[in-house]
Structure 1
Amino acid sequence: MDDPNADTEWNDILRAKGILPPKDEKRDDDLEDAFVEMVKAREAKLNSLENKELDELDELEDLEDDQILNEYRYKRMMEMKAQAVKEKYGEVTEISKPEFIKEVTEASKECYVVVHLYKDYIPVCKLMNRCLSELAQQFKATKFLKIVSDQCIPNYPDFNVPTLLIYGDGDIKANLVGAVQFGGMKMTTKSLRALLATYGAVPADKSEDDDEDRKTAPKKSIYQSRATAALSSDEEESDNDNGYY
């Protein structure tokens, strides 16, 4: 019989209909606490269990309580499967204006979406596309898109690009306008990651920050053009003919 506490969409449906009891979060916590304490006692060097892979857990099979080990391995397998379902992107995809609502606004209900408004002839836009491509390969659970700026918003000024729109939970979280927001031609993948992490679009870098990247990383203040400000305005959400979503 399947574990009724497993994080599956089917079990969530059964819980919602009252067929399965609510998930026993306390039991999960107790199980993980017991496992961590046991491993700490027997394997002092293994101090980061949350990041252990399945093959590393296999090395601990001499622990006395096989039941806890097996249940913990099952829990990690479910977590890995759930993460694999989310990590389905991996590249910067070009979209057109008619696709915007589906590919951005609607899609952001399930994951973070980062949209680059760009022009090919502008060097800093090319640099940003390279940086975003690297980030897309690293963080496949985030959807990275690009669209020619004046195709997205008619008559959008070239001096406003590159522009990044960050969407999450079905709504716009930030719009960052102009090269200065990103450090201009000094922009790096690290500095861009740090910026996106402040809005939750990608995980923050836990490693030591590069001093140079700290200097060039943009501030949190947001400059909005009149056009992109409308993208985050509830009053303009239905004005699709003008390019606002």
Structure 2
Amino acid sequence: MNVTVDPNEDSEWNDILRKHGIIPEKPPDPEPIIQEALVEAEKKAHDNRLEDKDLDELDALEDEEDEEFLEQYRKKRLAELSTLQTSSKYNQVYPLQKPDYAREVTDASNETFVLVNLTSSLAGNVESRVLSELWRQLAPKFGDIKFCEIRADLCIEGYPERNMPTILVYRDGEIRRQVITLRDLRGVKTGIQDIEKMLVDLGAIKESDVRLKRKDEDEDDEEVRRRMIRNRGMMMMMMIGIEDKILRLS
């Protein structure tokens, strides 16, 4: 007579079988392991609770945190800022000419990340104008990264308008990533935070970088987008007015 034994069952008989090696040992209960991992994760989060705080935010916590603990983070932030100040050598958007492209982009990428914005020559391309504005905001903020800009049609003959703007990311003499239009970001709603996330994903900046965009900058991004839309509307009205004048003259 065959007797079926459930090796995972808690029973005296199974304990005897396990003792004699007839059935394998019961696998360990995962719950204690999970609980231990959760406790460890909570401890790590608590220990690192000040990682994303800047100097002003650290000062605001003087009544809530241990002074010695705060002072460690103040020194860390000051050291980070000193390092960033030393490495910030670009601090502006570099307009490119095609003959200088290899030197200003490919060769320069051996020292740092180089981001090239291939822009549109058409005023109606709102995404291109949005990205150009973001470039002007990001360049002085991340001075250790080289932000460049060139009209796509002056850089690549016949480059299609539907692909503009295009972001080319160079490092160590090679293109590491290309982003064709802002569709895969947030279109005309693309903001500083979206580009910063891309920089983190690329490894161009660390996730703990003290310069990363703060939440209260969201309103600034929204204002940039509204200004771009208003400008586009004014440009369209001007174009319509010019067309009317041409028709009357003809």
Normalising TM by the smaller chain, what interval? Answer: 0.5 to 0.7
| SS class of match (2:103) | helix
| SS class of match (1:115) | strand
Q: C-alpha deviations, 1:135-168, integer Å up to 9, x for none?
A: 1111000000001102111100000011000011
Identical aligned residues as a percent:
30
Aligned partner of 1:166 among 163, 166, 169 = 169
Contact 1:120 1:126 in 2 (8 A): no
Measure, in 1, the Cα distance between the counterparts of 2:112 and 2:69. 37
Moved over 3 A (4+): 79-85, 202-212
Q: Give 1:112 deviation, angstroms.
A: 0.6
Task: After superposing the two structures, state which structure 1 stretch, 101-110 or 90-99, moved more.
Answer: 90-99
Q: How has the CA–CA distance of structure 1 residues 44 and 195 changed in structure 2, closer, same or farther, with 3 Å as cutoff?
A: closer
5 Å-filtered alignment, 1:199-210, equals: 199-204=202-207, 205=212
Q: Which residue of 2 aligns with 1:114?
A: 115
Pairing 1:92–2:101 present: no
Measure, in 2, the Cα distance between the counterparts of 1:134 and 1:96. 22
| SS class of match (1:201) | coil
Q: Give 1:194 deviation, angstroms.
A: 1.1
Q: Return 5+ residue gaps in structure 2 as ranges.
A: 1-65, 220-250
TM-score relative to the length of structure 2 = 0.52
Aligned partner of 2:188 among 185, 189, 208 = 185
Q: Which residue of 2 aligns with 1:156?
A: 159
Contact 1:114 1:201 in 2 (8 A): no
Counterpart of 1:46 in structure 2: which amino acid? E
Q: How has the CA–CA distance of structure 1 residues 82 and 188 changed in structure 2, closer, same or farther, with 3 Å as cutoff?
A: closer
Measure, in 2, the Cα distance between the counterparts of 1:81 and 1:179. 34
Contact 1:166 1:201 in 2 (8 A): no
Contact 2:110 2:173 in 1 (8 A): yes
Q: How has the CA–CA distance of structure 1 residues 50 and 165 changed in structure 2, closer, same or farther, with 3 Å as cutoff?
A: farther
Contact 2:97 2:150 in 1 (8 A): yes
Measure, in 2, the Cα distance between the counterparts of 1:210 and 1:42. 29
TM-score relative to the length of structure 1 = 0.53
How many residues in Structure 1 have an aligned counterpart in Structure 2? 149
Task: After superposing the two structures, state which structure 1 stretch, 113-122 or 136-145, moved more.
Answer: 113-122
Counterpart of 1:119 in structure 2: which amino acid? S
Contact 2:96 2:148 in 1 (8 A): yes
Counterpart of 1:179 in structure 2: which amino acid? L
Measure, in 2, the Cα distance between the counterparts of 1:193 and 1:42. 32
Measure, in 1, the Cα distance between the counterparts of 2:175 and 2:142. 20
Tell me: higher relative CO, structure 1 or 2? Use CA pairs within 8 A at least 6 residues apart: 2
RMSD, aligned CA: 3.0
Measure, in 2, the Cα distance between the counterparts of 1:209 and 1:80. 21
Q: Return 5+ residue gaps in structure 1 as ranges.
A: 1-40, 54-75, 213-245
5 Å-filtered alignment, 1:59-70, equals: none
